[in-house]
């Protein structure tokens, strides 16, 4: 793994991570040699946080789970990046008490908005933590893939419920509270004042293919995932949607009040 800032290559790529890393790498390249302040909300055991710290950035992971944070701390130490990873137990919708407002260059929130009680305050918290011009990497569960997945496995009632439910959930026994389409996910970020720059599908095909194909042709699968990731309708059928958004560098124009 490359450790020099500005020439970040990232960890080995898989269908779960390749598209996200390529978007993040473009942002890191854009920032050149700067040491970035990164915040990973619900960062879990550090699958993204630790490589970013290895690349020389300062990463704070806020997560509700002490067990995940303990695993993160071990992983960061094993990777030789323990001094650049700060683990904080806390809630994603109460970042103001944990992270200085407008202090973060890059915020990650991956696979979290579908499990929290209410996603809007979490996204508002992410946006408030970003400096003007800072970027957000948000990964959410896709609704269409879940509908197709249920149907293909013969669970037609669950598929119909999931398709019709306003939140994209099958109900209280569903492991996720909600799922998103590209439009609903983008609207959530825009409501918090973020400008959505890119939307990609993650795992368009990976979960649909027989294991023999996925395991037998990993390089071809990776290439096809990358080729389809940004293209509707393929993008919209992905198991997860990745949104890359930015806090505008200047606040939107205030309406000019006519003189009395």
Ligand X SMILES: C[S@@+](CC[C@H](N)C(=O)[O-])C[C@H]1O[C@@H](n2cnc3c(N)ncnc32)[C@H](O)[C@@H]1O
Interface with ligand X (CB under 6 A): 41-44, 47, 62-65, 68, 91-92, 110-112, 115-116
Give the residue from 201, 140, 148 showing the smallest Cα distance to 162.
148
Complex with ligand X: residue 44 or 168, whichever CB lies closer = 44
Whole-number minimum distance, CB 64 to ligand X, in Å? 4
Residue recorded with tokens 């789970």: 65
Complex with ligand X: residue 27 or 63, whichever CB lies closer = 63
Whole-number minimum distance, CB 203 to ligand X, in Å? 13
Whole-number minimum distance, CB 70 to ligand X, in Å? 12
Complex with ligand X: residue 73 or 259, whichever CB lies closer = 73
Give the residue from 113, 106, 177 showing the smallest Cα distance to 140.
113
Complex with ligand X: residue 10 or 92, whichever CB lies closer = 92
Whole-number minimum distance, CB 156 to ligand X, in Å? 27
Complex with ligand X: residue 115 or 151, whichever CB lies closer = 115
Residue recorded with tokens 């939140």: 167
Whole-number minimum distance, CB 151 to ligand X, in Å? 24
């Amino acid at each position: 793994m490359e450790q020099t800032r500005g020439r970040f290559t990232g960890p080995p790529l898989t269908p779960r991570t390749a598209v996200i890393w390529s978007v993040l790498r473009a942002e890191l390249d854009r920032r050149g040699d700067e040491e970035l302040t990164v915040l990973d909300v619900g960062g879990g055991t550090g699958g993204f946080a630790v490589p970013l710290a290895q690349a020389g950035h300062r990463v704070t992971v806020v997560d509700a789970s002490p067990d995940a944070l303990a695993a993160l701390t071990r992983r960061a130490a094993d990777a030789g990046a323990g001094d650049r990873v700060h683990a904080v137990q806390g809630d994603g919708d109460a970042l103001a008490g944990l992270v200085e407002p407008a202090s973060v260059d890059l915020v990650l929130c991956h696979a979290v908005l579908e499990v929290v009680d209410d996603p809007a305050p979490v996204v508002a918290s992410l946006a408030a933590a970003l400096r003007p011009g800072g970027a957000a990497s948000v990964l959410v569960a896709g609704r269409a893939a879940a509908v197709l997945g249920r149907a293909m496995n013969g669970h037609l009632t669950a598929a119909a419920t999931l398709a019709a439910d306003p939140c994209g959930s099958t109900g209280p026994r569903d492991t996720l509270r909600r799922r998103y389409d590209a439009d609903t996910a983008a609207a959530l970020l825009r409501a918090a004042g973020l400008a959505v720059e890119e939307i990609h599908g993650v795992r368009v095909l990976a979960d649909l293919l027989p294991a023999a194909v996925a395991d037998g042709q990993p390089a071809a699968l990776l290439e096809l995932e990358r080729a389809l990731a940004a293209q509707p309708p393929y993008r919209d059928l992905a198991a997860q949607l990745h949104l890359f958004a930015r806090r505008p560098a200047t606040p939107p124009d205030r309406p000019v009040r006519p003189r009395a």
